[in-house]
Amino acid sequence: MRAIRLLLGKDVRLLRRSPALAAALIVYPLVVALLVGLVVRYAGERPRVALVAPAGLPSVIVVGKQTFDLQQLFAGAKEVKLVRMPAAQAEHQLSSGQVLAVLTVPKGFTSDLRGLKRSPKLILRTTRGGLSTRVVEKLRSFVYSTNLDLQKAYIQANLSAVDLLLHGGGGVIGRTRFDLLGVRRARAELAVLARSPDPATAARAKELGTFMGQLSGAVGQVGTFLRATANPIQLVHVQQSGRSWILSAQVQAYALALALAFVAVLLGAGAIVAEREENVLGRLVGGLAGFGRLVAEKIAFVTLIAAGLGLLLALAFGLIVELGHISGGQPWQRVPLLLAGLLLAAAAFGAFGVLVGALAREAGTATLFAFLVALPLTLVALVPHGTAPVVTWIGALFPFGHAVHAFTVALYDAHPARLFLRECAWLAALALAYGIAARAAARRLL
């Protein structure tokens, strides 16, 4: 421990004497975190999908009193970016990966939609690539939301007919105009007849009046029933003034993990290689400190610096949240939990960095190697779950995904204990595994 403490003090002193490096350590991850925050927020939200309509795009249709511009509906799809193109071009772009799917609007779509004798069909073609599931989900969501809008219009149209039946009035079927008495007016007239001096007529009118009353009540409920059967489960979306996206839980967690990943991996790689560059490794391992203690010291050094930086970042986010009076506020009571996650994540990233440095041996190579390795392994963790299982497994062996999850859970989960401990166990295991590997690889530095 004495050797570790002495070397740790030396490394902190050396870092303090490199103001440019210290400044870069703070500024660089913030900038990268911000940029990746933007990417995370928007990447993959709108997959590019070719829109093929051999008979032209569907035109305007009228349902009841509502008008639907189907062209506008397609153009305004939020879930995917629909790009109109001919069938041959769409085919080419699908095979070359320029579009992730082809959505074809077949002939007769509009007439099917107007007639409603059968459901109009849209044909979606995807490749067998890993992203096809995601595109299908997005288009299902688009079709669902379109169906929902149409459904509302059809229900409204049906309810107008029911309303006419109930209250009576003028209507048009095709080109034929008609005038309907309506259940309520019929009931009123039957009530007059029920006061007829002819007892038989009065009794008959009374009986019919009772039936009309029951009919009126039943027809009055049709709207509710229609809506209920059309939407057995309804999702009510209430938008409130919450955090701006930049401070959302997801982006805050990604920013912290990203800052830690780059700082710790680069610092870890640089710190171990620096001992070789200074030519002091021989002295150290020749009786002053073994490779084990040297690797442990480097991991401790990186952990201290990177976790400190992570904490500063979290405090900065919190300060912005408080000063901006953003609803929900920063969960300050969770900061100790977050700090535990930061320490473990920094240790895991640091151990990985030391391993990279030990393998690379030279400062220039170590820096480049650290970048080349850390960048894809970070991006691997950003690939959505279920896209490609192999990628998910590779991501699981790098601390980034676990760090993001641990930070999110630590800051915003209502009951964080179980998930947080699981991710912390992963981070601790990765730190240990990379540390052991770094210890074995450190001999290469001599």
Partner 1 sequence: MTRRFGRRVVLEPTDLEIGAGEVVALGGPNGAGKSTLLAILAGALRPSGGTVAVASKLGWMPQRPALYGRLTPRENLELFARLAGVADVDAAVGRALAEVGLAVEDRRAAELSVGNQQRLNLAIGLLGEPSVLLLDEPTASLDARRRGALWELVARVRGAGGGVLFATHNLDEARRVADRLLVLEEGLLVFQGAPAAYVEEQAAPNAHEHKDTGL
Q: Is 285 in the site for partner 1 (CB under 8 A)?
A: yes
Q: Which of 76, 170, 232, 287 binds partner 1 (CB under 8 A)?
A: 287
Q: Is 80 in the site for partner 1 (CB under 8 A)?
A: no
**Selected range binding partner 1 among 180-188, 274-282, 306-314, 384-392, rule: CB under 8 A:** 274-282
Q: What are phi and psi of 235, to 5 degrees?
A: -100, 120
What are the b/e assignments for 387-426, b being 16+ CB within 10 Å? Answer: ebeebbebbeebbbbbbbbbbbbbbbbeebeeebeebbeb
Of the candidates 400, 347, 345, the residue with the CA atom closest to the CA atom of residue 373: 400
What mask, x for binding partner 1 by CB under 8 A, covers residues 15 to 44? --xx--------------------------
Minimum distance of partner 1 from residue 37's CB (angstroms)? 35
Radius of gyration of the chain (CA): 34
Q: Is 10 in the site for partner 1 (CB under 8 A)?
A: yes
Minimum distance of partner 1 from residue 14's CB (angstroms)? 5
Nearer to partner 1, 214 or 279 (CB): 279
Q: Is 281 in the site for partner 1 (CB under 8 A)?
A: yes
Minimum distance of partner 1 from residue 11's CB (angstroms)? 10
Q: Which of 121, 283, 385, 418 binds partner 1 (CB under 8 A)?
A: 283
Site for partner 1 in 296-335 (CB under 8 A): none
Of the candidates 191, 342, 338, 180, the residue with the CA atom closest to the CA atom of residue 259: 342
**Selected range binding partner 1 among 99-107, 177-185, 189-197, 278-286, rule: CB under 8 A:** 278-286
Q: Is 51 in the site for partner 1 (CB under 8 A)?
A: no
Nearer to partner 1, 189 or 277 (CB): 277
**Selected range binding partner 1 among 32-40, 171-179, 287-295, 393-401, rule: CB under 8 A:** 287-295
**Selected range binding partner 1 among 3-11, 69-77, 95-103, 235-243, rule: CB under 8 A:** 3-11
Q: Which of 25, 101, 289, 306 binds partner 1 (CB under 8 A)?
A: 289
User: Do the beta carbons of residue 212 and residue 183 sit within 8 Å?
Assistant: yes
Q: Which of 161, 249, 288, 320 binds partner 1 (CB under 8 A)?
A: 288
Minimum distance of partner 1 from residue 279's CB (angstroms)? 4
Q: Is 279 in the site for partner 1 (CB under 8 A)?
A: yes
Q: How far apart are CA 346 and CA 298, in angstroms?
A: 12
Q: How far apart are CA 104 and CA 123, in angstroms?
A: 5
**Selected range binding partner 1 among 61-69, 143-151, 281-289, 372-380, rule: CB under 8 A:** 281-289
Minimum distance of partner 1 from residue 284's CB (angstroms)? 7
Q: Which of 77, 205, 255, 284 binds partner 1 (CB under 8 A)?
A: 284
Nearer to partner 1, 6 or 123 (CB): 6
Q: How far apart are CA 391 and CA 383, in angstroms?
A: 8
Number of residues that bind partner 1 (CB under 8 A): 22
Q: What are phi and psi of 60, to 5 degrees?
A: -80, 135
Q: Which two tokens stand for residue 98?
A: 């320029």
Minimum distance of partner 1 from residue 272's CB (angstroms)? 14
Q: Which of 170, 197, 199, 286 binds partner 1 (CB under 8 A)?
A: 286
Q: Is 364 in the site for partner 1 (CB under 8 A)?
A: no
Q: How far apart are CA 269 and CA 349, in angstroms?
A: 10
Cα end-to-end span (Å), the chain = 23
Of the candidates 73, 54, 55, 53, the residue with the CA atom closest to the CA atom of residue 63: 73
What mask, x for binding partner 1 by CB under 8 A, covers residues 233 to 272? ----------------------------------------
Nearer to partner 1, 137 or 278 (CB): 278
Nearer to partner 1, 7 or 411 (CB): 7
Of the candidates 90, 78, 94, 82, the residue with the CA atom closest to the CA atom of residue 45: 78
**Selected range binding partner 1 among 12-20, 111-119, 232-240, 379-387, rule: CB under 8 A:** 12-20
Interacting residues toward partner 1 by CB under 8 A? 2-3, 6-7, 10, 13-14, 17-18, 278-289, 446
